[in-house]
Structure 1
C-alpha cells in the first residue's frame, strides 16, 4: 500500500460531494482527519447532518465532523436545492445519524489541525471557501502549514455554471475565494494551491451505466438500472445500502442535468478533485496568478487567471486543464463498488473481506 495522504475535507454536501466522500473512504491511501461543513448547496446545519449520516452509514463515526460558518463573509447565502434536492442528497433518505458534530467550529479545526500536524495535511475544499478564509483571517500563518491545498472551483477557458463567467463554489462567496488566493500567494512555489475548475471537472461525466457497474461489482441485487423514462423520484430497490442511497442521490442529479438540456448524465466535479488531492499526477496543469472578481456588475465571482505575468505578481495556483476522464471513472467505479461490498458485509456481521 502506498503512503497515506492525510486530509482535511471541507465540503457543502451535495450530491457530488457525497460521492467524493465515498471515494475517499474507499481509498486505503487516504486518511480523512476531519470533515468540515460549509454552507453552499444547502445550509450548514443540513450539510453537517449529511456528512454525519454518510459517515455513519459507512461505519466511520470515528471521523470528526465540524460545523462551519452559516453563510458567506459579506453577502446572504444562496443555496441550490433545485440542483441537489431539498436535503442536498437528491432523493436519498439516509438513516438519521446518532453521533453529533464536534464541539469546535470548522474554522477552529482548520487552525488546530494544521498546528498539530504542520506540513502533513492536504486541504481539500469542494464547496465555498468561507471556512478556510475565516481560518486564515484568524491565523495568517495557516497556509504555510498545509502540505497542499486542492480547490474545486472556478472556470478559466470554460463558461460558468452559475453566471456566464462564474462557477458555483466561487460565486457563493467570491470574497472568501479572493482572500484565500491572496493568502496562499506567499507559500513556496512547489506548494501553490491546485485549482480544479469547470475546464476539467465538467469532463467527468457519470452515466447510469456507471451506477449499474458499481451495483454489479458490489454484488448488489437487483442490479441497478436508472432510465430516463423512469417516473420522477423513482427509488432504488437494490440490496446494498451504500449503492441504494448513492443511486437515489445521483438519480436526482441525472434528472437535473436532463431537464437543463445536458443529457441524462451527472457532472461529478468533486470526486475527481478528491482524486487530485491524493495524486496530483492524474491531471495536467498550467501555473497562473489567479484572482477573483468581487465588484463586477455582470462578472462577480469570475476567476481570472494571469497566464503571462501581466500583473507583475508571481503565480499562486496550478490550474488543472486536462485529465483522462475514463481512467478516473473506471477507478471510481472499482473502488466504490469494493468499498460498498465491504460495508455491506460488515453490517451483516461477516467481517472484513479476505
Structure 2
C-alpha cells in the first residue's frame, strides 16, 4: 500500500499512541475533579498545554483545546463575530478557505453579518491589494489560511499582517491546519495574528483533538457553556489522553529538521515526471511559496474521481481536492477561484506527502501512473 493522502489525515506516531494509551489507562481521572486522580489528570493537561505553547512561542494561557480544525474555525469565526457585533458586522475571508471557514462565514451571513470574499490570483494567492479594498470601518475579522489544502499555496500572511498593522479593531485569524511541519512556525505565528486554528490528526496525533491560539486580551464568545473548562470558554471535560498525545506529536513533528527538504525532493521528482506528459496539467507549483507536501494535477478529459479509483486498484491512495469536499463530487473550489474552467478543475487530484513516504514509493507511483495514462489515451483524444 502507498498512502499519498496525508493532507486528509496522517497515521498517528507510535509514540503518540503510546502516550495516549498510557494516559488513558493510568491517568483516567476527570481533570476537574478535586481528588488526587483528578489532580494527576489536571497536571497532564496543563503540562501538555505548556508544551504546545512553548513549541509555538506563546503563553500557555493562550492555548485552548478543541476537537479539531473544523470546530476551531467555527469557534473563531462565530465567536469573534458575536463578541464584536456591537462594533461592526463585516467579515472578510479569502475565496480559497477550507469549508470550515467558508461555511461558517456563509452561516454568519444568514445571521445578519456581511461577508466579503478576498479574491486570489491565477496561482492561488490572496490578492492583498484587493483585500485592502474590501476593508471598511465596520470590519471586525479577517480570516486567511496559511497553506491552501488543495494547491499548497502559502498565503502572503506577512503582507496581510502589515496591511492590518494600523487596524487594531480588526481581528486576524489564520487557519494553520495544513502548516504544521511544512512552514516555519515563525512564518505564521506572527505578532499581528490574533487567532490560529490547529488539528492534531494532520500532524500524526489521534483524531478528534485540536486547539486554537487566542492572543491574550482578545475576546471570543464561549463555544460551549457548562462546567467552566478552558477558562470558561469551552465547557466540556477535556480529552486528556488525546491532548497529551497531540502535544507529543507536535513536538516530534517540529523537531524533524529534515522533513521539508525530504518532502520537496519527492514532490519535485513527481512534478518533473508528470510534467513530461502532454496530457497532464500541473495545477500546483514547486516554488518556495508553495508547501513542500502538496502536488495537484489532472489528466485532460479524465475526472478526478476516476483517477482516484484507478490508483486505488493498485493500492495507491490519493485524493480529489479536500477530503471534506471529495465525496460531494465538487471540483476543487480553489481552482474555480483561480479562474480554472470547471471542466478542467474536475480533473484535479491531489497527492499529499509525508516523511514516512519514500522515493521508492514515488517511483512505483510513476510506474503505475504511466500504465493508467496509457489507458486514458482514447479519452484524451
TM-score after normalising by structure 1: 0.29
By relative contact order (CA 8 Å, sep 6+), the higher-ranking structure is: 2
TM-score after normalising by structure 2: 0.28
